[in-house]
Structure 1
Amino acid sequence: MEQTLETISLAKLAIAFIPVAFVLIILACWSLPQKRTLHALVRMLVQLLLVGYVLSYIFASDNAWIIGILLLVMVLFSSWIALNNIESSRKLLFHRAFLAIFVSSLIVLLAITQGVLNLSPWHQAQTLVPLAGMVFANGMNSVSLCGERFFAEVKRGENYQKARNIAFKASMIPNINALFAVGIVSLPGMMTGQILAGVSPFIAARYQIMVMCMVFASAGLASAIFLILNKPSHPTTNTYQ
């Protein structure tokens, strides 16, 4: 029997913070820093409540320009955040991170929205924005992982090709592990959400397969493009900026 999820009231939503409070109490009892954790929780709450209002407006507007600008902003932020852990000039690497995430995401989203889902119109926000968010976030994480490892290997004196291969392999570990674990260790977000919403597990599984392919491809393409863009112009130089 299929069932639909009820709307969560703010009072009931507050109950979800009870287990969170236990963790904060543990931090306090063990004299561990709480400021960063509290800041993260407050920021999460504010961001998600705000994004709910923003997305409601965007979904209702059905304006291709607004949706396009939103996607561009998402790519710009993900490109900037991807460079957080890379010990190199963020300004010099930003355009490479942007191109890596933008090009890889464009390829993947075109294949998924127009090939698999036949999305019409192409800017159908309720489908496109969540999928784009997953692709951008995954590309961001992959660029961050491969970039950090690549420049660490270069600093150790490895040549471009070896540093590139090590970095690419490292950036793909989380996604390869996810492929092994899906369905056995975990039920990923989209599949879980659809099952909770009453969708047949057989249909939910097909959508999750689509998402896993999307995530794997966006990670591999973003990492590869970023590493290719950081290839030195002269084979004898170790300057990658």
Structure 2
Amino acid sequence: MKKLLVLLVLLFSIGVYAQKGKDTEPRNESFITTDVISPFYYQGTLKGFSDNGTPRWRLGYIKNINPKTKIGIDIGYGNANSSIIQTFDNYSLWEIRPEYYHILNPKRKTLSYFSLALFYLNQHEEFKNQYFFSKDNGYSTFDKADYKRQKFGLIPKFGMFVNISNRIGLNWYTGVGVNYRINSYSDFVNLRPKQYNEEHFSPYFRREGNRIGVEFTIGLKIYYRIKN
């Protein structure tokens, strides 16, 4: 994570420096994108990072509307077989993320923008020998159970499109928004009450029920430029 932050700070510095160059004519360009961070997503706990992640392969398309406006969509999918990091059994996840971009400096080589992104995420996993908090705040353990997570959200972002060559570039972004999470469990095997033990801490993001929370994002994409 520290290396990622250093990389994003470096890209930000490059972007700021690039904006000092001469103005150019506004470019009617669209982008095909792929996220380089999403295949390595881990879920955080109060004690650090979980041993099991929520990786997904994410592809996107950003369509130019006019010099100051673009719209885009990202679609992501991951499962236990395609993952390059560890996941729980029978893990699968898909997501969709439409986004509106407002370009702040359409005449610059490095484009800065504010954007507004919506997202929906649907995740399934099979847990074995795990612990969790139920809707009524009871603490329980089980031998096996199916877990489902749905998450909706809205995230305002700031980012930059930094050119590497005539066709290839990097898109870094960061933002803070809100999410609505729906967690559910089913098909328990040997479900039983358990006395709470901090060593068996059940991550907050797996707590059963519905919750509103803060959604933070920071990421990096590679894009291929399509000249309209």
Query: TM-score by structure 2 length?
Result: 0.29
Greater relative CO (CA pairs within 8 A, separation 6+): 1
Relative to its length, the structure with more helix (as a share) is 1
Instruction: Tell me the TM-score normalized by structure 1.
Output: 0.28
